[in-house]
Amino acid sequence: MADGSLDTDSEDEIPAGWEERMTLDGDNYHMAGKGSLKMMELSSMWSFETARSLAFHGAHVVMACRNTMSAQTCRDLILAERPGVKVTVMKIDLASLNSVKEFADQYKQQEWPLHYLICNAAVFGLPYTQTEDGLEATFQVNHLAHFYLTKLLWTQLMTSAPARVIVVSSESHRSADLNILNLSEEKLSPLESGYWDLRAYNLSKLCNLLFSLHLNTLLCRYRVSSVALHPGNMMYTNLQRHWWLYRTIFYFVRPWTKSMQQGAATTVYCAIAPEMQAVGGMYFNNCCRCPPSSAGADDELAKALWDIIMDCLYL
């Protein structure tokens, strides 16, 4: 692990064939008996690759998805390739806090352990949309709902320790303009007049990073660590589906972006690599520690954001 390495997101930083060994070869790291909960957007094939890899490494993977029909198809593909693995599909809609609560209650009823919570579902490029909870959708789906679910499963993480929370952020967090002076609920969840889709996405990714930072501060004493990561630049998933211009841009840069296995590699590394066991509060790219923006490393801002989110959720 290259401590403090600069992030260029160059594919050359990953040794040839390494992502296949990391994501497919279950003999490298065994996770037998480990419970892994992964919030997925199944239109994203790198999310599928992550779930597939964790299952192949021996984890019982719970795919928490909005579109359960697509999730079931993915589960069937994984089982067809390796029949003995354990993959469960459960329903969650991050645009509904009631759905998040219902999911958490159902998970607790199963009395499963929770060793790895991977928060990676996200939206991008949405027109201005309010959720049923009255909040701007990008903020709620990309950040608030992940925060809420983690809080609801707090006890499961601690009783399963050692456990890890892996939060998928993005290099776009560097473009967010959040600071301790302008932090407010109105900034995080703006009205339509103050909304721009790209700004909302960048802000949500900085919130992800700050959430992971403060979560690690709170839970490390209980042997629960948290890290954030960047999976790759402009990978051709379905994240860009909401606007033709984004679809066009992502299509033309596709030859120079990561494959789905490469995109999954850093998530899998952060979840299962033995050297990551006691690592927390850090940001990773290309399976190496990477310095975040100054805002992304601001403990005061992370604590202030945490307090505002707690107020939003009435916790």
Positions annotated as catalytic residues are: 201
Answer whether 214's CB lies under 8 Å from 299's CB.
yes
Q: Tokens in use for 205?
A: 């990714």
Using H for helix, E for strand and C for coil, what is the string for the chain? CCCCCCCCCCHHHCCCCHHHHHHHCCCCCCCCCCEEEEEECCCCHHHHHHHHHHHHCCCEEEEEECCHHHHHHHHHHHHHHCCCCEEEEEECCCCCHHHHHHHHHHHHHHCCCCCEEEECCCCCCCCCCECCCCCEHHHHHHHHHHHHHHHHCHHHHHHCCCEEEEEECCHHHHHCCCCCCCCCHHHHCCCHHHCCHHHHHHHHHHHHHHHHHHHHHHHHHHCEEEEEEECCCCCCCCCCCCCHHHHHHHHHCHHHCCCHHHHHHHHHHHHHCHHHCCCCCCEEECCEECCCCCHHHCHHHHHHHHHHHHHHCCC
Cα–Cα distance for residue pair 152/228, rounded to 1 Å: 20
